[in-house]
Amino acid sequence: MKRSYKTIQREVDPDTILFLGDMFDGGREWSTIHPGFTASEEQWKKYGHNYWLAEYDRFGRIFFAPDQISGGLQNGKVKKVIATLPGNHDLGFGKGVQPVVRRRFHAYFGEGDRVDIVGNHTFVGLDTVSLSAMDIPEAPPEIWNTTMKFLDNVQDYKQRAIEHELVHMHDLESSRKFSHETTEPQVRNRQMSAKGQSQYNLPTVVLSHVPLFRQPGTPCGPLREKYPPSAPNLDNDERNAIRVAAGFQYQNVLSPEVTKVIAEKVGNVSYAFSGDDHDYCEVTHRAYASAGGGIKETTVKSMSWAMGVRHPGIVLASLWNPIDGEGHYLPDSPEARGDATIQTHLCLLPDQLGIFIQYAVYLVLTLVAIGLHSIVVALRQKESASSASSVLPTTEPKKDLYSDFKARSRSSSNSTHSGGNGMLAPRSQTARVRSISPAVVLMGYGLPASSEKQFVPLINQAGFFPKEETDDWGHDIETKPMVRKKISFARRISDQAGQDMLFVACPSLLWYYWLVTTG
Using CA atoms, how far apart are residues 270 and 181, in angstroms rounded to an integer?
Answer: 38
First to last CA, the chain: 11
User: Strand 114-118 relative to strand 246-247: parallel, antiparallel, unpaired?
Assistant: unpaired
Answer yes or no: pTM beyond 0.75.
no
Using CA atoms, how far apart are residues 86 and 110, in angstroms rounded to an integer?
Answer: 10
Using CA atoms, how far apart are residues 233 and 342, in angstroms rounded to an integer?
Answer: 24
- pLDDT tens-digit profile, the chain (519 residues): 998 999 999 999 999 999 999 999 888 888 888 888 887 777 777 888 899 999 999 999 999 999 999 988 888 788 999 999 999 999 999 999 999 999 999 999 999 999 999 999 999 999 999 999 998 888 899 999 999 999 999 999 999 999 988 887 766 555 444 444 444 444 333 334 444 444 578 899 999 999 999 999 999 999 999 899 999 889 999 999 999 999 998 999 999 999 999 999 998 898 999 999 999 999 999 887 665 678 999 999 999 988 888 999 999 999 999 888 777 888 888 877 878 899 999 999 989 889 899 999 999 999 999 999 999 888 888 777 666 555 555 555 555 555 655 555 555 555 544 444 544 455 555 545 455 555 444 444 455 554 555 555 555 555 555 555 555 666 666 555 555 567 788 888 888 888 888 888 888 889 888 887 776
Using CA atoms, how far apart are residues 317 and 17, in angstroms rounded to an integer?
Answer: 10
Contact assessment for residue 146 and residue 106, using Cβ atoms and an 8 Å cutoff: no
Return the CA Rg of the chain: 46
Using CA atoms, how far apart are residues 47 and 60, in angstroms rounded to an integer?
Answer: 19
Q: What is the DSSP letter of 392?
A: S
Contact assessment for residue 269 and residue 295, using Cβ atoms and an 8 Å cutoff: yes
Question: How many residues does the structure list for the chain?
Answer: 519
Using CA atoms, how far apart are residues 216 and 228, in angstroms rounded to an integer?
Answer: 16
Instruction: Return all residues near 279 (Cβ < 8 A) that are at least 6 apart.
Output: 220, 224, 225, 226, 227, 299, 301, 302, 308, 309
Nearest CA among 380, 368, 377, 381 for reference residue 504: 368
Alpha-carbon distances, residue 131 vs 182, 235, 335, 507, 514 (angstroms): 44, 30, 31, 55, 47
User: Strand 295-299 relative to strand 246-247: parallel, antiparallel, unpaired?
Assistant: unpaired
Q: What is the DSSP letter of 92?
A: -
Using CA atoms, how far apart are residues 27 and 109, in angstroms rounded to an integer?
Answer: 13
Contact assessment for residue 120 and residue 322, using Cβ atoms and an 8 Å cutoff: yes
- For 189-204, b where at least 16 C-beta lie within 10 A, e where not — what string? eeebeeeeeebbbbbb
Considering the four listed CATH numbers 2.60.40, 3.30.720, 3.40.50, 3.60.21, the one that applies to the domain covering 2-350 is: 3.60.21
Would you list the domain boundaries of the chain? 2-350, 355-394+484-518
Contact assessment for residue 204 and residue 296, using Cβ atoms and an 8 Å cutoff: no
**What is the 3-state secondary structure of 246-272?**
EECCEECCCCHHHHHHHHHHHCCEEEE
Contact assessment for residue 29 and residue 93, using Cβ atoms and an 8 Å cutoff: no
Using CA atoms, how far apart are residues 23 and 9, in angstroms rounded to an integer?
Answer: 19
